[in-house]
Amino acid sequence: MSNWTSLWYVWLLLLTLFLLLLCGVTASCIKFCRRKKRFPAETFSRHPYDLPVIAIDSESTAHSTVT
């Protein structure tokens, strides 16, 4: 069986994974703290939007070009 200290690439991989995990946790904590300190934004009433609807029957030229 090989000695664990001679497998430097395993330690390098573990160190890289640990640093990525640490950076992710740190970024999440910073994001959470910034969101918590932010003042609540004013809520504006939303206006309904009109969406145009185009009816296409089966005998129209638009329908025949699509299919």
Say what the pLDDT of residue 55 is. 73
Distance CA 5, CA 40 (A): 53
Q: Where are the alpha helices (DSSP H) in 1-67?
A: 8-37, 61-66
Say what the pLDDT of residue 52 is. 76
pLDDT in tens, 5-16: 678 888 899 999
Say what the pLDDT of residue 5 is. 67
pTM (whole model) above 0.85: no
Q: How long is the chain?
A: 67
Say what the pLDDT of residue 36 is. 72
pLDDT in tens, 17-59: 999 999 999 999 999 888 877 666 656 666 677 777 777 766 6
User: From residue 29, how far is each of 18, 33, 67 by CA, in Å?
Assistant: 17, 6, 52
Distance CA 34, CA 28 (A): 10
